[in-house]
Amino acid sequence: MREDERAELIRQYEDGVPAFKAALAAVPAAALKWRPAQGAWSVHEIVCHCADSETNSASRIRYVTGEHDLSLDNYDQDRWAIEFDYHAHPLDAALATVEAVRANTAPLIRRLPAACWQRAHHHKTYGRYTAENWLRTYAVHLHEHARQIEDNVAAWRAQAARATA
């Protein structure tokens, strides 16, 4: 990865929280726990997922750049949403976690030396895994979920309009 590409991805990573919060701010209270389809996440669940995901990702970048010869694995995000009853979790606490974790991780990734970006580990799903793989995923993670929130609200509004037509 070129240095300018990495810098742009880090900028996207840093811009994730404002984009995510803007999408969340536009959600009517009645739409927070509404699911667009069976098995799909509500906005509330998306925020809780992001809190768990950001917490995991913050640990992962530290392990990937600070350790040698790791074997990495995923977690089952859909099972976590059910097992941890995301709808019962306080939305404000989840959002605060997203903000705090990003605020703490962004300065770390900005100052990582070049060697850390290249350090390779084994991921059980993806094979060779580096900090660059991590950055490609998490630079856009909150942006993708901001769009998911916007899509949920659009679907909720469309359903509400059909119900009143």
Task: Supply the pLDDT for residue 160.
Answer: 84
pLDDT digits (tens, 9 = 90+) for 101-125: 999 999 999 999 989 998 889 888 8
Residue with tokens 């509404």: 34
Task: Supply the pLDDT for residue 139.
Answer: 97
Judge whether residue 134 has pLDDT over 90.
Answer: yes
Mean confidence (pLDDT) of the chain? 94
What separation in angstroms does the CA of 98 have from each of 17, 101, 156? 7, 5, 24
The pTM (predicted TM-score) of the whole model is: 0.94
Residue with the bigger pLDDT between 149 and 120: it is 149
Task: Supply the pLDDT for residue 31.
Answer: 96
Task: Supply the pLDDT for residue 118.
Answer: 86
CA 76 from chain center: how many Å?
14
- The arithmetic mean of pLDDT across residues 145-153, rounded, is 98
Res. 68 pLDDT band, cuts 50 70 90: confident
Task: Supply the pLDDT for residue 99.
Answer: 98
Q: What percent of the chain has pLDDT over 70?
A: 100
Structural domains of the chain, ranges and CATH numbers in brackets: 3-30+41-164 (1.20.120.450)
What separation in angstroms does the CA of 143 have from each of 22, 82, 83, 158? 10, 23, 25, 23
Please tell me the total number of residues recorded for the chain in this structure.
Answer: 165
